Structure 1
Amino acid sequence: MEIELITVLMFGGMILLMLLGVPLGVVTGIIATFFILDFDRLNSLILITGRIYSFINTYVLVSLPFFIFMAGMMERTGVARDLFDAMSVWGAKRPGGLAAITTVVAIIMAAMTGVVGGEIMLLGMIALPQLLRMGYDEKLALGTIGAGGALGSMIPPSINLIIYG
């Protein structure tokens, strides 16, 4: 089969399954498994299992659960809330100051935890109610939290940079 037809079949299958409401992770798994079994039979499955084992066996990935644990501990102990309260004292009186402080807190938390999803969840629980209480538009508040949380993938120690490295 030609590569163009394979590409059209893959994207067509992905679009069809997503239109049926199947989650994206399941869709990619179904498409990959179907095309592996259809074209290369079991040889590719052996190769994939070997690659998964060598990826999981990497020593650097030991740090990932600790970053997630640290983000959970910051949320449970109230350190993140205290950090946000201390930073909001400096900028709450200026126009847009609380949004800028939220971004600064996101940068600090990204440098401490390295977990992007956990950081956005944490800021959503802590900063969003305070931003809405201070009269910020909901879209602006959510955009500030999302943009600040996205900085987590650029600041070491980032899980993404650890995996790519």
Structure 2
Amino acid sequence: MPEPIQNRIRQSLGQAKNLYYRLVLLLGESGAGKTAALRTVAGELGTDVINVNLALSAKLIELTERQRTLHLSALFGRVVEESGTIALLDNIEILFDHGLRQDPLRLLQSVSRNRCVVASWNGAVIGSKLTYAESGHPEYRSYEAADALIVNMNGSSGLDAQEGQRA
């Protein structure tokens, strides 16, 4: 019987405490159950799941396009700081908006330096690459090295090889 996803998330949080980037990516397609898993873990930890799209869009709405690009990193950092020592992030699509001209993985890594972060990631590991969205989609991204712990909704989990060398 496969291990429940919530157990793998909690195990990864324990492992992440010792890494340079304390980032756990919960990988799966849309509808795979990432949100439900995050909510269950949040309930067990006594914290909330942050809807990044909602939290950031409220802060960005009054800014010009240029201001959004300049201030996104700091605003995102404040949203995550409010979560405490562990941040559970869902609905991160706004980070991939091309108009914001940001690298979403680097944003997640930067906020995971001082706290453990679990982020729902609509993608997969294909070969040695971490992907977000499907090839041809406007938000599609591909990364050679994730520098994060990966928990896949399909049952696999592990440490990205590059991160293991940096930790």
Report the TM-score when normalising by structure 2: 0.33
Task: Report the structure, 1 or 2, having the larger helix content.
Answer: 1
Larger radius of gyration: 1
Task: Report the structure, 1 or 2, having the larger strand content.
Answer: 2
Report the TM-score when normalising by structure 1: 0.33
